[in-house]
Every structure is written in C-alpha cells, then in structure tokens.
Amino acid sequence: MKPILTAKNLTKSYAKGILALNKVSFTLDQGKVLVVMGPSGSGKSTLIRTINGLETFDEGELNVLGIKISADSDERKIQRIRRRVGMVFQQFNLFPHLSILENITLAPIQVQKRNKKEAEEYGMKLLCQMGIESHAKKYPGQLSGGEQQRVAIARSLALKPELLLFDEPTSALDPERINEVLDAMRRLADQGMTMIVVTHEIKFAMEVSDQVLFIDSGKILEISSPEVFFSNASHERSRKFLNQIN
Amino acid sequence: MSKNKKKFFQILLVFAFLGFLGILINNLIINLARTGLGFNFNWLTKPASFSLAEHPLPYSPSDSYAWALFIGWMNSLKVIISSLVLATCIGTLIGFLRVGKNSFFSIITAGYITVIRQTPLLIQLMCWYFVGFLNMRNNSFLSISNIFNISNKGIELFGLNLSPEFSALLFGLSIFSSAFIAEVIRGGIQSVPLGQWEAFRSLGISEKQGFFKIIIPQALPAFIPGLTSQYLNLAKNSTLAIAIGYSDIYAINDTIINQTGRAVECFIILLCSFLILNLLITKVMGIIDKSIMKSGI
C-alpha cells in the first residue's frame, strides 16, 4: 500500500511554551480510515487542520499525496493540496446564500473550470448518494442539521478528493440525526475512500476504522488497531479517557 | 399602576405637550407681528438681486428668490451625490484593505481611519480649502495631459471644470465619510463567521474568489444599516459648505434671511427639504436592503 500521508515531527506552539502539536509523526495508507481521539484541547482538531493548511505549523514536514510542505511553504503548494483533499466541519459551514446544488458545484466550476451542466450532473449524483437529491433547490437554512452535514460531505466530494478529513462531523447534531451522517461516512469507507476522522463515536471507530490515533497535549500517545485500542489500550491515559466517555 | 391611572397620566402628558407647543406658536406670532412681516411665502417671487458664483442652470440676480433657492438645491444635490459615490468607493477600498492579509495596508488604513474620525469635519473642510486648494500652484499642481488637472482653480476633469470650493467640499465630505464607511465595511465583513472562510479555503477556492463570491454576499445585509446612517450624515454635513463659501441650499437661505428677515419661512423650507431628501435616501436604502434579502440567505 502506498502512503497517502506522512507526517514527520510536526510541531506547533501557541503563545509561550504551550505546544499544540509535539513532534507528531504518523503515516496513512491509501484506502484506510484513521480515527483520531483525545480529550478536548488535546490538539486533534489542530492536527487534522494542518493537513490541508488551515493551520500552520512551526517545525517538521508533511507529505500529502506526494506534495511536501514544511513550515515555510507558500500558499500555492497548500492550494494544490486543498484541491485534492476534502474537509467536513463540525458546524457544516455551508454557504447560506447559495442553494444546496450551488454549494456543491461552486468549487468544480471556480477551481476546476468545469462547465456548469457537467458540474450540476455530478452534483446531483453526489446528492443522490447522500439521499438528499430532493433538496437540491433549497437553501441550507431550510434543512435539518443531519441533512446539512450530508450536503457538506457531498460538497467535499465534488472535487473528487483522494483524502477526506472529518473534524467532529457529528458533534453539533441532535442525537437522532447522528446515524444518518455516520452511515453516509461508512458507505464512503466501504467504497475505499481514505479518511481521517476526529470523533468521539466509539461504535463508528470500532466498526469502520483501521487505526485509532490517541493524542493528548499535542503528543501522540498511541496508534493501535481499534480491537486493541478499545479492549486493551496500551497507554494508561487512553484507558482513562475511554472510561470517561463510555 | 391601575389602567385608569395610566390613561390619566397619558392624557395629562398630551395636554402638557400641546400647551408647550401653543406657547411656542404664540411667541412666534407675537414676534412676527412685531417685525411687521407676517407669515407668508409671497416674497419668493421677488428678484433675489444677489449673484451666485456657481450655478448649474442659468441664473442672474434679477431672477426670483425661488429660483435662487432651486439653484442652491441643485448645488447641494450635486455635492451630496458626488460625495456619496466617491465616499463609498474610497470607504469600501479602505475597508477591504483594513481587513486584508497585507499588514502594511492594514496599518496604513487603520491610521487613516483614526486620524480622519478623530478630527472635526469643519477643520478638515477648511484645511482642504485653504491649505489644499487655494495654496496650490497657479496653473497645474497635478496634471495628466489635458484629462486631469488639479490647481488653485479647482479640478479639471475631461474639460469639466470644478471650482476650488466645490472640490474642497467634495474631498472633505468624501474623505471624512469614507473613514466611517470603511468601519461599516470592516464590521460587515467581520460579522461573517470564520467557518465560511475556512470552508471556501478547504475547497481550494482562492482568497480573492472566496472573498467576492462567499464573504461579500453574506456581509452585504450587514452593510446597509451602517451605510444608510453614514449617507444621512453626509447629506446633513454638506451644509458646512457655508464655511468655505460654496453656495449650497443653506448658504443661499442664509443670504436670503439677511436680505429679507424671513427666518421662519426659510428655516421651514430648509428643514422640509432635508427631511424629504433624507427620507428619500432611507427609502432607497430600504429598497436595496429588501432586494438583497430576497436574493438569498
């Protein structure tokens, strides 16, 4: 399996001595699902956001899809990564002034310069996959949280990404809406999509992930298979965390 | 308080207000009678017999007061509308640079906003007029062939000649208002959640495209109330024209009061004109607001 992502000694510090990331190193192979877990403020969001350049880092090296970036890499290189890596946010972040279909076709038309009809056809296909094709003409404000998040997933798929990043995709949802989003993510994983998911959903992690990464205070404490992590975590901090969220 | 007591106090308040109004009107009538003028608008048709330096339509001293007032209105509208357009352009540009990523421009524009907002408009106008335009070299201070020429004779643009008084007022009002408009623009842009920036960035959309296609459309509704109040201020501030000798509606009214003593009638005309103009501005901005609301969100 060829690695899609390699992080080497990623370090980021906030004001005076607080390390958001502390020498973070890991690899992710194509077609694998990595779940990132950790207490709040542990750096899991920072980690996933450095991968597509929403956060900068101070030291170390990142290789995403063969594009190498370091602390001083320019905007253009990061732009190249963003065109091949999709992201789904906790707060959906749909564009409220655009219709659902326009939300999805904006990037293909603006970034990839595809013609409108082609982009719309592909957009409708993605909406069908997510089971929300009937909402294409509506605006984000008219949809439920779960539906909005599925639109956000469809939007992140519109550029045909090779890697998808999920930053707590179900944390802002009503409990009864969580499963529709997790099911959509599960289907993507089954189709062979490479994914990094920051989440607290243990059931999802157990069933879907290939690896679980546990991070605390900016440091990776362990990377294990879900079987090992959830039944026999090697690090005491991980066991404590699992006890707390169970 | 019981319902009846409440009603009683409200009625009392209405009577107190009417009584106060009555005293004012009574005073006015007594004073008008004393000056022997009486309240009427017949004098409007008499010849004004003063000359005007600037008149967009033909005017001579033998024309009526009414026509002089109309010319004053044309002058006022000319400077209000052109300042409104110029102030919006400068203010929007400054606002954009203020929130932009370039820290050099950000600091420069922050300084501009601070200096302009913290000094009185009257002093700025005087400064533009006396230091700016009247002190310039005779023929051409800044000249680009025959298209654009700034000198102590004002501004010449495509053969259109703008007097130093008009130019100073245009610059003064535009620059003063632009600093406030820049803050309105900045506030509007910053009211758009940070997640919207992250969302377009994560899709590989460039900063420029994202700014104009994602951020600005969402900031527009937040611009309107602030812009409306700045436009109303600009219209009202234009009456400071009298300080630098530009013949706007207020300056002409002032001359007429001196000549005729018709202060009451003149101020009624002035107040009504500005009331109508500003209601019009509010109405137009309301229509723009509605059309923005309709187009999404």
The CATH number that applies at residue B216 is: 1.10.3720.10
Pairing of strands A59-64, A19-29: unpaired
A197/A193 Cα distance (integer angstroms): 12
Q: How many separate helices (H) and strands (E) can be counted in chain B?
A: 10, 4
B276 in any annotated domain: yes
Residue B296, pLDDT > 60, answer no
Residue A242 neighbours by CB under 8 Å, 6+ apart: A202, A230, A233
B270 in any annotated domain: yes
> pLDDT per residue over B181-209, tens digit each?
999 999 999 999 999 999 999 999 999 99
Contact A111 B205 (CB under 8 A): yes
A64 in the same domain as A6: yes
Contacts of A155 in chain B (CB under 8 A): 203
A196 in any annotated domain: yes
In the beta sheet, which residues pair with residue A212? A35, A224
Contact B204 A107 (CB under 8 A): yes
CA B120 to each of CA A171, B124, B138, B244, B248: distance values in angstroms, whole numbers, following the listed order = 52, 6, 29, 15, 20
Contacts of A139 in chain B (CB under 8 A): 296-297
A76 in the same domain as A7: yes
pLDDT band at residue B146 using 50, 70 and 90 as cut-offs: low
A153 in the same domain as A183: no
Percentage of chain B modeled with pLDDT above 70? 94
A9 in the same domain as A131: no
A179 in the same domain as A156: no
pLDDT at B107: 95
Q: How many domains does chain B have?
A: 1
Residue B132, pLDDT > 80, answer no
Question: A18-22, B54-58, B104-108, B145-149: which has the minimum mean pLDDT?
Answer: B145-149
A201 in any annotated domain: yes
Question: A116-130, A205-219, B38-52, B70-84: which has the minimum mean pLDDT?
Answer: B38-52
Neighbours of A82 (CB within 10 A): 26
Sheet holding B160-162, edge to edge: B142-144, B148-151, B154-157, B160-162
A166 in any annotated domain: no
A132 in any annotated domain: yes
Q: Of A107, A127, A161, which one is at a domain's C-terminal end?
A: A161
- State the helix-helix crossing angle for B249-260 and B263-294, rounded to 10 degrees: 160
Mean pLDDT of chain B: 89
A98 in the same domain as A79: no
Q: Which positions 198-217 of B are in contact with A (Cβ < 8 Å)?
A: 198-206, 209, 213-214, 217
pLDDT at B194: 95
A244 in any annotated domain: yes
Nearest to B218 among A96, A106, A110 (CB): A96
A8 in the same domain as A73: yes
pLDDT band at residue B93 using 50, 70 and 90 as cut-offs: very high
pLDDT at A55: 92
Residue B297, pLDDT > 60, answer no
Looking at residue A189, its amino acid is A
Highest mean pLDDT among A62-71, B123-132, B158-167: A62-71
pLDDT at A46: 93
pLDDT at A233: 80
Nearest to B201 among A54, A96, A159 (CB): A54
Residue B135, pLDDT > 90, answer no
A206 in the same domain as A139: no
pLDDT at A157: 95
B244 in any annotated domain: yes
A99 in the same domain as A80: no
Specify the long-range contacts of residues A15-22, CB closer than 8 Å, at least 24 apart: A19/A43, A19/A217, A19/A218, A19/A219, A20/A46, A20/A218, A21/A46, A21/A47, A21/A50, A21/A57, A21/A218, A22/A217, A22/A218, A22/A219
Whether the CB-CB separation of B77 and B188 falls below 8 Å is answered with no
Contact A97 B209 (CB under 8 A): no
A242 in the same domain as A218: yes
pLDDT at B264: 86
Contact B202 A87 (CB under 8 A): yes
How far is C-alpha A202 from the chain's CA centre? 16
Task: Choose among A173, A221, A222: nearest CA to A201.
Answer: A173
Sheet holding A3-13, edge to edge: A19-29, A3-13, A59-64, A67-70
Divide the 246 residues of chain A into consecutive groups of 10 and give the mean pLDDT of each group: 89 84 93 93 92 92 93 88 95 95 95 93 95 94 94 95 95 91 94 95 93 92 91 85 82
Task: Choose among B210, B236, B268: nearest CA to B69.
Answer: B268
Domain limits at A207? Answer: 1-84+173-246
pLDDT at A67: 93
- The beta strands (E) that lie in B31-159 are given as 142-144, 148-151, 154-157
Q: Of A161, A193, A218, which one is at a domain's C-terminal end?
A: A161
Task: Provide the ipTM.
Answer: 0.93
Nearest residue in B to A158, CA atom: B203
A177 in the same domain as A57: yes
Whether the CB-CB separation of A75 and A83 falls below 8 Å is answered with no
Q: Distance, in angstroms, between A36 CA and closest chain B CA?
A: 19
Give me the total of CB pairs closer than 8 Å, taking one residue from chain A and one from chain B.
Answer: 62
Q: How many domains does chain A have?
A: 2
Domain limits at B105? Answer: 65-115+169-294
Assess B191–A contact: CB distance below 8 Å, yes or no: no
Read off the CATH number of the domain in which A231 is found: 3.40.50.300
A131 in the same domain as A198: no
In the beta sheet, which residues pair with residue B157? B148, B160
- Our CA dihedral for B43, B258, B56, B176, rounded to 10 degrees, sits at -130
